[in-house]
């Protein structure tokens, strides 16, 4: 693109370009530092997978909201709205039709491992949120490209 043509790009076009660049960055963030074999992953508790998945999910959401640039408090409110248990449960429900049988089994294991929910939450919502986190943690360790594919299907709102 010539320098003077850049002046004619709309803010929406720039934001779309930047979002595409972030998605490309997310795809290449790296493969998991080391892939574990299925037997090793099966030894990891669903609670531990959810712990890892929570961090990976939040990192994805934070990167999603990097563009357009905002003040930190706006980033924070956008991210918090997406990482709440209610929203995670909603995201899991939207992904269910896309999941493979072994992924559904991981979701089930995560749901059954959900204990000690906060008092403000319905137990079913907490179980679904934990299930999503368990799935994210599992896929991060075993199938990063599949994780990226599923995360990109989440209906995050800009």
Condensed to tens digits (0 to 9), the pLDDT of residues 38-85 reads: 788 888 999 999 999 999 999 999 888 887 787 888 888 888 888 889
pTM of the entire predicted model: 0.76
Give the CA distances from residue 79 to residues 83, 92, 102, 144, in Å, rounded to whole numbers and listed in that order: 6, 17, 29, 22
Cα separation, 127 vs 95, in Å, equals: 15
Kindly state the DSSP code that residue 117 receives in the 8-state scheme: -
Question: What Å distances lie between residue 152 and 14, 20, 101, CA to CA?
Answer: 20, 11, 20
Domain hosting residue 139, numbered range = 37-153
**pLDDT reported for residue 64:** 87
In a domain, 124, yes or no: yes
Flag whether 9 is in a domain: no
With beta carbons less than 8 A apart as the criterion, state whether 45 and 137 touch. no
CATH number for the domain including 113? 1.10.1520.10
Specify the number of domains making up the chain.
Answer: 1
Q: pLDDT tens for residues 101-110?
A: 999 999 999 9
User: Mean pLDDT score of the chain, rounded to an integer?
Assistant: 81
Catalytic positions, written as ranges: 54
Cβ distance 134 to 46 under 8 Å? yes
**51 domain-assigned:** yes
In a domain, 2, yes or no: no
- Give the pLDDT confidence score for residue 89 in this predicted structure: 94
Asked if residue 126 lies in contact with residue 47, where contact means CB atoms within 8 angstroms, the answer is no
Identify whether 29 is part of a domain: no
16 found inside a domain: no
Q: Six-digit token pair at 82?
A: 């997406």
Residue 127 domain-assigned?
yes
């Amino acid at each position: 693109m010539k320098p003077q043509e850049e002046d004619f790009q709309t803010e929406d076009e720039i934001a779309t370009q930047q979002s595409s660049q972030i998605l490309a960055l997310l795809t290449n963030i790296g493969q998991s530092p080391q892939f574990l074999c299925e037997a090793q992953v099966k030894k990891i508790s669903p609670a531990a997978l959810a712990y890892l998945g929570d961090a990976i999910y939040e990192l994805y959401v934070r990167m999603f909201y990097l563009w357009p640039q905002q003040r930190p408090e706006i980033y924070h409110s956008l991210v918090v709205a997406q990482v709440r248990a209610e929203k995670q449960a909603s995201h899991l429900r939207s992904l269910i039709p896309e999941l493979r049988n072994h992924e559904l089994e991981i979701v089930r294991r995560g749901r059954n491992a959900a204990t000690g929910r906060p008092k403000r939450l319905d137990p079913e919502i907490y179980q679904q949120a934990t299930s999503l986190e368990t799935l994210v943690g599992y896929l991060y360790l075993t199938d990063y490209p599949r994780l990226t594919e599923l995360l990109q299907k989440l209906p995050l709102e800009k």
